[in-house]
Amino acid sequence: MNIVLKQTFCAIIIYIMFSTTMLVAQTTYQPDGLVKKVVTGIQIDLSSVTMKDNDGNTLEASTAFPMMQSGKYTMETYVDEQDLIKEIVLRPNPDGKVVTTYIQDSENNSGNESDLKKELEDIRLKDQTLRMISGCVSNTFENFPNKEGYINYFRQLMVQEDRKNQERVMQIIDENGWIGISQVGFLANNALFLVIQHASVEILEKYFPLLKESVDKGESQPADMALMDDRIRMYRKQRQLYGSQTTTIDGKTYVWPIEDPANVDERRKSVQLPPLADYLKLAGLSYPQDELPAELF
């Protein structure tokens, strides 16, 4: 789960990245008339969403967001008949081993690991903050005389911040390897993936083997590896394996073509991703689709 920002000029948004390695908690409260549905990688307008705890008590944002980021709760989303998300329920994680694997107190780490944990969590915050704001930048400056100027400046800020984050994260990885969850916790480990994922294809290819090795050791999320693999394939004009990547051409969004689509859900399951149809439906997409312009390949 990622950083959430309140802005007076736009709806509250939250970018939810479910760690499907977490076990489903035994439930108490069940929303009336709503259906539970897995959500991943989707921006949600929280102006119409209610946050509740395991007993059905409504949570204020100031309480809910720290709970979501703590790693000690699983998050269940509930939709109505129109497939619109109406409630998010935070359930206590029932397996202590999962919590201690993903969340570590700094006092249990060596001094160096504790410092890296904090630094990487700060980098993750910086990486995600601008991306959360980006969803409402266009509407914010809609009526400004120089709308494009403001938007372009914001994009420049993102590029500059990404470059700084990438330089530091690459230095950390070069010196320490792909630091695992057991060393610095889930958030700091996830920061490595998020920052590298926004880099050039050459950087992705350089560090992908280290991420894969970390996943094989159980020290990083399989879903992170799958998303990076797909992005490399897309950048190299190859078909992706897991269906995580999309591209927009002339205002139309396409799912990047998938290798052996008949077996994509089996591959997604193997890396703890939900079925492709469920994932795409939340973004208003489907697959198969109209083919991408041939010149892209």
The reply to whether 213 and 269 lie within a common domain is: no
The reply to whether 201 and 109 lie within a common domain is: yes
pLDDT of residue 130: 82
Give the residue, 61 or 92, on which the prediction is more confident. 92
Strand order in the sheet with 73-79: 35-37, 73-79, 85-92, 50-52
Residue among 227, 177, 221 at smallest CA distance from 204: 227
CB distance 43 to 49 below 8 Å: no
The reply to whether 68 and 157 lie within a common domain is: no
Please write the tens of the pLDDT for every residue from 95-118.
533 332 233 333 445 556 678 999
Q: How far is the C-alpha of 227 from the C-alpha of 40, rounded, in Å?
A: 12
Q: How many CB atoms lie within 10 A of CB 9?
A: 11
Please write the tens of the pLDDT for every residue from 184-227.
988 899 999 999 999 999 999 999 999 999 999 999 999 999 99
Q: Is residue 116 part of a domain?
A: yes
The reply to whether 90 and 110 lie within a common domain is: no
Q: Which domain holds residue 28?
A: 4-94
The reply to whether 108 and 205 lie within a common domain is: yes
Q: Is residue 50 part of a domain?
A: yes
3-state secondary structure of 104: coil
The reply to whether 160 and 198 lie within a common domain is: yes
pTM of the full structure: 0.64
Q: From start to end of the chain, where are the E strands?
A: 4-5, 13-16, 35-37, 42-45, 50-52, 73-79, 85-92, 246-249, 252-255
Peptide bond into 288 cis (omega under 30): yes
The reply to whether 207 and 109 lie within a common domain is: yes
